[in-house]
């Protein structure tokens, strides 16, 4: 029996790209596509609805807030995929992410943009350097070698519930990875293709966004490291 695959796409002002993302998804393999409109000021929601996606609103801005909203309305899937709405990833590669989970070999599969040279070069320099620092700290503190904090990822639904995600903004991706390690989930990184996004990044596309995101990511890593001593 095929797995029930749910896709959550957090989106803030992505009217120019969300349709491209939805068109590229292998929709015949997907149980539901949830676009979380994170208080956009453009026509993101309308564009997604026109492409047949289910759209829910999350008025509290923040990447994690949007993802948490999407989780709250899931229709009992087997696997949950998280994908950005900016068309920087290749949505058709969802098949590669879910296969190791469907086969029963893995619980959490992360699409890494840092393995293929052409994907790595498409990342902004601040993203590459920030990734390198974050994965170094995770290896040092949690003894697991990641290569990326990429947002394109798939996780078994039961595992997602078990790690009890909480972060509401920039710490979301690193929180999931740390909790997956601490819970003993079977984790796999696979190379995925990556390209320059449509439009300007709301995070690494600005100096203030880069500083805020970097600070929160480092804070999250240290928070979960020091929490070990208070358990």
The CA distance from 64 to 33, in Å, is 18
- The pLDDT tens digits of the residues spanning 133-169 come to 999 999 999 999 999 999 999 999 999 999 999 999 9
In this predicted structure, what is the pLDDT of residue 162?
A: 98
Residue 73 Cα distances to 24, 31, 36, 191, angstroms: 23, 13, 10, 30
When divided into structural domains, the chain yields a total of 1
Among candidate residues 55, 151, 75, the one with its CA nearest the CA of residue 110: 151
Range of the domain at 156: 5-230
pLDDT of 200 > 90? The answer is no
Pairing of strands 79-82, 108-112: unpaired
Token digits of residue 182: 């601490």
CATH number of the domain residue 190 falls in: 3.90.550.10
In this predicted structure, what is the pLDDT of residue 197?
A: 82
Helix-strand-coil percent breakdown of the chain, rounded to 5?
45, 15, 40
pLDDT band at 120 (very low <50, low <70, confident <90, very high): very high
**Average pLDDT of the residues of the chain:** 93
Token digits of residue 61: 């801005």
pLDDT of 194 > 60? The answer is yes
pLDDT band at 86 (very low <50, low <70, confident <90, very high): very high
Residues 173-181 have a mean pLDDT of: 98
pLDDT of 228 > 80? The answer is no
pLDDT band at 30 (very low <50, low <70, confident <90, very high): very high
Residue 177 neighbours by CB under 8 Å, 6+ apart: 110, 138, 144, 146, 149
pLDDT of 227 > 90? The answer is no
């Amino acid at each position: 029996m095929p797995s029930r695959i749910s896709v959550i796409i957090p989106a803030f002002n992505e009217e120019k790209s969300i349709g491209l993302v939805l068109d590229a998804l292998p929709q015949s393999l997907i149980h539901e596509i949830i676009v979380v409109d994170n208080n956009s000021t453009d026509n993101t929601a309308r564009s997604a609805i026109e492409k047949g996606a289910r759209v829910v609103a999350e008025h509290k801005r923040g990447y994690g807030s949007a993802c948490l909203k999407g989780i709250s309305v899931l229709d009992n899937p087997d696997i949950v995929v998280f994908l950005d709405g900016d068309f920087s990833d290749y949505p058709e590669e969802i098949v590669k992410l879910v296969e190791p989970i469907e086969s029963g070999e893995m619980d959490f599969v992360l699409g890494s943009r840092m393995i293929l040279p052409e994907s790595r070069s498409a990342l902004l320099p601040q993203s590459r350097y920030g990734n390198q620092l974050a994965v170094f700290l995770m290896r040092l503190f949690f003894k697991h070698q990641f290569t990326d904090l990429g947002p394109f990822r798939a996780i078994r639904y039961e595992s997602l519930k078990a790690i009890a995600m909480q972060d509401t903004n920039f710490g979301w991706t690193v929180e999931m990875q740390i909790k997956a390690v601490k819970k003993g989930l079977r984790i796999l990184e696979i190379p995925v293709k990556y390209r320059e996004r449509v439009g300007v990044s709301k995070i690494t596309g600005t100096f203030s966004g880069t500083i805020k995101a970097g600070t929160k990511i480092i804070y999250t890593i240290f928070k979960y490291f020091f929490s070990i001593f208070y358990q």
